[in-house]
Structure 1
Amino acid sequence: MKTVHIIGAGIAGLGAAHFLAAQGIQSVVYEASDHIGGRAAGSIEEGTLFEVGGKNFSSQWPRFNALLKEFNIHEHDAQHPDFHIVLKDQLVKLDKSRTLSGDLRLAMQLGLRGSLQLKDFLGYSRKHADELNYTNGLIQQVEHKWDHKPVSAHFAPSLVAGPMRMFSIIMGAAEPEEVYPSLLTLFTAGFAKGQHFAIQGGIQRFHQGLANNKNIRLGERVERIQIEQGKVTGLVVNGADGEKRIDADAVISAVPAHVFKRLLVLPEQAQAACDSIRYFPLAMINARYDRPVFRDGVNSIMFEPGSVLGHCSANRLYQPEQVRFTLSGAAARKVLHQSDEALIALAEAEFSRRMPITGQLVTARVTRHIGGICAYAPNFTRVKAELLAGVDHIAGLAIAGDYLEGHTMEGCLHSAELASQRIGRYLAM
């Protein structure tokens, strides 16, 4: 039986292994780090839950929810129902379910133009939530109409500095002048679907379900995918025993685009497409204090332009003493090189300007995602088509990951499913 070689043990790589197993195809997964889960990893250490990236899911995600059922994971925690955004030096609430309906204070801060633009933008995303994706094609209309300029050029300044920046920071650790309207439309369309939860006990329970009975080699970094005469022939892998070549005729790359493009030489147009996909770095601090940090009905704060904090939230609604500080955005990028202690001090000082921290720090973990999270590219439908056209010319290769079907966990699973189907068809030839 032939073996499929998968690069990366994030949710896309683990998902690909799981979908291949469902077809009766065996695989081996190579992971450069010492843990599974990638940028959505999770663990419990000394009684503290550390989730260092994506952890929330929608009740309307078909693949993710089907796998939860398969893994017998039924215990969920509700996601916080609102955000508080720093607008004009004040904390202003944005209710996820009502948006502007009844949120008079938010409307007053945004002004008439900003309020109407936000209502129209969210209304369009909600109305077309099921059609806004890279499969059904409606997103191309948005790209054609709006992607000639970044988000910051299309909306009122008050809206750009507030809710639009909130979306761009959460989506891609990016400023509104660095992302394009189609990308935020995709994000808010997903935001509008169903109810949102986190897995009780941590996202690592889901990863472990995917990883069960799979051949996963931690600490093994793939350096190159070898291609001869238009076909995959092997991998060059660097591990504890040094660099070695492994014969392989079927490979799924499930690493970010900026890693994938280093593994092989793509056709010129596909290489240019891959180069255009942007990633912005961030750091996440999981911290636990000896008394509640969030209070007075606030459980999530989005910070203003110029702050080193992009956003932060209570780890769970019932854990106001546990905080996830995220240092993201332009100002944060200037300090990510500093020590863990310095980043914790910066985060605490910035947070305390809005809500003073009165407790003592018990434990903290700083995780730097220097590779960043994906902010895609303008007119991404065309970019993706050019990239996939280049990959299609290489027999035995498929790609999955955060840069193809949306960088949510559901999007990664979708890309993994498509990649496993492509490889399955190839092996059946």
Structure 2
Amino acid sequence: MSATGTHTGHAVVIGAGIAGLAAAHRLLERGLRVTVLEASGRVGGKLLPGEIAGVRVDLGAESMLARRPEAVALAREVGLAEQLRPPATATASIWTRGALRPMPKGHVMGVPGTAGALAGVLSDEGLARIERDAALPRTEVGDDVAVGEYVAERLGREVVDRLVDPLLGGVYAGDAYRISMRSAVPQLFQAARTHDSLTAAVRDIQARAAAGRQTGPVFMGIEGGVGRLPLAVAEAVRARGGEILTGTPVTELRRAGADPDVSDGAPDGVATGAHEDAGAPRPDAAWRVVAGHRVLYADAVVLAVPAHTAAGLLRAEAPAAAAELATVEYASMALITLAYRRSDLALPEGSGFLVPPVDGRTVKASTFASQKWGWIADEDPDVVVLRTSVGRHGETEIFQREDAELVEVSRHDLREATGLAAVPLQTRVTRWTDGLPQYPVGHHARVARIREHVAKLPGLAVCGAQYDGVGIPACIASAYAAVDQLGGDLSGVRELTANPVQSLHGGAGE
């Protein structure tokens, strides 16, 4: 890869989640020969299609933000244009203070422009506290601030505990009082820097959004599940001549001119016993990649793996970047999918509900999948599919329970929230250990330092959920920026640094 943007030679992508696959797809468009190496036995990462009671469902992420172009555009490029589907309903609820209450409108990630926007969710005292915002002195946000900390200071803790925290928790499975406002809610952060009043800042955001006249659905799904997206991208990569190797963990990443050092963490014998890639060794290659007993030589490498894996692979050549990546924390969660006979239940209207942690429930959210996605209902009108999620950052006890216990916890909370007492036809528990990277205060600065260290190594770039956003469009945007960086174009990285990708639309109410 030359500094002028001319793309030649062989690129290795490490990781076959949606970020790695998007990077491979873009690299092939630029004319490179591409090899994708994936440690697990499948592609797709946190996107996982499945089935329950004969109905296709997602067992991982189920929707993608449509107000960003990357995910929808990639789906169209790989032949899924006719399968794109908006949600059948955009209404949702919040289960708080003992009842299912309509999700408020007119807020940005739970932060209202007026107290009245949260009527019904907050107590009278909580609503009165919001009214004090206009009279409070300015609160400086500095270089970054925790969302919960700043909003609580301006509007009171009840706004955070009852609405901001469950909305953010649905994206990051984290704690609003630790999550970076600059990285997670960038439009709110920028507005807070220029307004004395937080509610005035929200009203300004809403006015500019209205003036922009954005049309179309906020979110988009895919018939059969968004888990089909990585499969279609992988198929497109292979159709263009790309090679995807699953069950192939990378054990060493070194500059091609560096002497292999078993002490750096490579298994005994790798340096001398691995089989060279076809046509290798290549004295002109930039990188040497060891994957099991295979050695590949590459002109460029895209590292699209979780932070702890990236830290291990970068330790020899970029120890400062590795040290930064090793500090990234993750939250684990589990999705419980339940299928019922339609004749056995009557659900409230809408797409589901969120649960504030302050209410002390185990389930943090539930999606009425058959009501949210019309294609699920159409596949078998006699079956109704629901999903619940459990697990937040720092929680360990709930994740240690057996699958049957997680199902019973879900059924208990569903019964308390909706009156659902029926016995499910079938259940599935999907565990995502260390599934969601956390974005604490200062996240943007940490990412900038990582990229600065990596940039010192020509032919190497990083991408994925731990950098620029956890949503599908964010991961794809991160992948495209990494490919552009390899060709000497830093505009994508600069744009992501200046304007992080929100992973949830602030006013969607979902």
Fold agreement, TM-score > 0.5: yes
Kindly indicate whether the alpha-carbon contact (under 8 Å) linking 1:150 and 1:180 is maintained by their aligned counterparts in 2: no
**AA of the residue aligned to 1:391:** V
Say yes or no: does 1:73 pair with 2:73: no
Aligned position for 1:379:
442
8 Å Cα contact 1:253/1:398 also seen in 2: yes
Instruction: Give the equivalent residue in structure 2 for 1:277.
Output: 328
1:146 — aligned with what? 145
| C-alpha displacement of 1:188 | 7.8
CA contact 1:151–1:176 (8 Å) conserved in 2: no
Q: TM-score, normalised by structure 2?
A: 0.70
Moved more, 82-91 or 145-154: 145-154
Query: Match of 2:171?
Result: 171
2:246 paired residue among 208, 212, 218: 218
The equivalences for 1:381-396 within 5 A come to: 381-396=444-459
Task: Please give the per-residue CA displacement for 1:139-185, whole angstroms capped at 9, x wherever unaligned.
Answer: xx956253498568645221222111112211211122332333441
Q: Report the CA distance between 1:76 and its aligned residue.
A: 0.5
Q: Quote the residue 2:97 is aligned against.
A: 88
- Residues 282/114 of structure 1: CA separation in 2 closer, same or farther (3 Å cut): farther
**Would the aligned equivalents of 1:79 and 1:197 in 2 still touch at CA under 8 Å?**
no
The equivalent residue for 2:503 is: none
1:25 CA displacement: 1.5
Distance, in Å, in 2 between the alignment partners of 1:43 and 1:353 is 28
Corresponding letter in the other structure for 1:84 = S
Counterpart CA distance in 2 for 1:244 and 1:42 is: 30
**Cα distance in structure 1, aligned partners of 2:118 and 2:289:** 55
Task: Tell me the CA shift for residue 15 of structure 1.
Answer: 0.3
1:358 Cα deviation (Å)? 2.9
Is 1:40 the counterpart of 2:103? The answer is no
Kindly indicate whether the alpha-carbon contact (under 8 Å) linking 1:278 and 1:374 is maintained by their aligned counterparts in 2.
yes
What CA distance in whole angstroms lies between the structure 1 residues aligned with 2:396 and 2:12? Answer: 35
The aligned amino acid for 2:288 is G
1:219-257 CA-partner distances (Å, limit 9, x unpaired): 21223322366895322324xxxx443333421111122
Alignment pair present for 1:204 and 2:254: no
The residue that corresponds to 1:123 in the other structure is: none
The yes-or-no answer on 1:304 pairing with 2:368 is no
2:264 is aligned to: none
Counterpart check, 1:416 vs 2:479: yes
Q: Provide closer, same or farther for how the CA distance between residues 293 and 255 of structure 1 changes in structure 2, counting only shifts above 3 A.
A: farther
Unaligned runs of 5+ in 2: 1-7, 135-139, 190-204, 259-284, 378-382, 490-510
Q: Which residue of 1 aligns with 2:314?
A: 264
| C-alpha spacing 1:46/1:25, structure 2 compared with 1 (3 Å) | farther
Q: CA 1:93–1:299 in structure 2 vs 1: closer, same or farther (change >3 Å)?
A: same
Cα deviation 1:185-211 (Å, max 9, x = unaligned): 149899987522211221133223311
State the 1:389 CA deviation: 0.7
Please report how far the alpha carbon of residue 391 of structure 1 lies from its aligned counterpart in structure 2 after TM superposition. 0.6
Aligned to 2:368: 314
Q: Is 2:148–2:165's contact at 8 Å kept on the other side of the alignment?
A: no
Work out the CA distance in 2 between the residues paired with 1:172 and 1:226.
33
Equivalent of residue 356 in structure 1, options 414, 419, 422: 419
SS of residue matched to 2:12 = strand
Of 115, 121, 125 in structure 2, the residue corresponding to residue 106 of structure 1 is: 121
Q: Which has the larger radius of gyration?
A: 2
Name the CA distance, whole Å, in 1 between partners of 2:424 and 2:161: 31
Return the offset for 1:417: 0.4
CA distance in 2, matches of 1:7, 1:293: 46
Aligned-partner Cα distance in 2 for 1:11–1:81: 26
Amino acid at match of 2:326: D
SS in structure 2 at match of 1:177: coil
Structure 1 stretches lacking a partner, 5+ long? 120-140
Q: Alignment partner of 1:40: what SS?
A: coil
Secondary structure, counterpart of 1:286 in structure 2: strand
1:227 pairs with 255, 260, 263, which one?
255
Change (3 A) 1:156 1:333: farther
Rate the CA distance shift 1:84–1:148 in 2: closer, same or farther, 3 A. closer
Q: Tell me the equivalent position of 1:343.
A: 406
Deviation sequence 1:286-333 (CA, Å, 0-9, x none): 221123656232531222323221111112424482111111225853
Pick closer, same or farther for the CA change 1:249–1:113 going to 2, 3 Å: farther
Structure 1 residue 352 displacement after superposition: 1.7
CA 1:143/1:198 → structure 2, altered by over 3 Å: closer, same or farther? farther
- Asked if structure 2 preserves the Cα contact closer than 8 Å seen for 1:250 and 1:423, the reply is yes
- Cα distance in 2 between the residues matched to 1:372 and 1:118: 36
Amino acid at match of 1:246: L
Q: Distance in 2 between matches of 1:96 and 1:168?
A: 16
* Contact kept? 1:169, 1:328, Cα under 8 Å: no
**226-235 or 158-167, larger mean C-alpha shift:** 226-235
The farther-off stretch of 404-413 and 104-113 is 104-113
Is contact 2:286-2:297 (8 Å) kept? Answer: no
Q: What is the Cα deviation at residue 60 of structure 1?
A: 1.9
C-alpha change, 1:331 and 1:142, in structure 2 (3 Å) is closer
Tell me if structure 2 keeps the 8 A contact 1:282–1:332. no
Does the 8 Å contact 1:255/1:401 carry over to 2?
yes
Matched residue, 1:248 = 298
Structural RMSD (CA): 3.3
2:13 to 6, 12, 19: 6
Q: Counterpart amino acid of 2:432? A: H
Q: TM-score, normalised by structure 1?
A: 0.82
Residue 114 of structure 1 and its aligned partner are, at CA, apart by 5.6
- Number of residue pairs matched? 401
Structure 1 residue 392: deviation in Å?
Answer: 0.7
Deviations 1:377-413, CA, capped at 9 Å, x for gaps: 3122211110101111122211110122211111101
1:79–1:26 Cα change, 3 Å: farther
SS in 2 for 1:395: coil
1:96-134 deviation line (CA, Å, top 9, x unaligned): 567776663125467225655999xxxxxxxxxxxxxxx
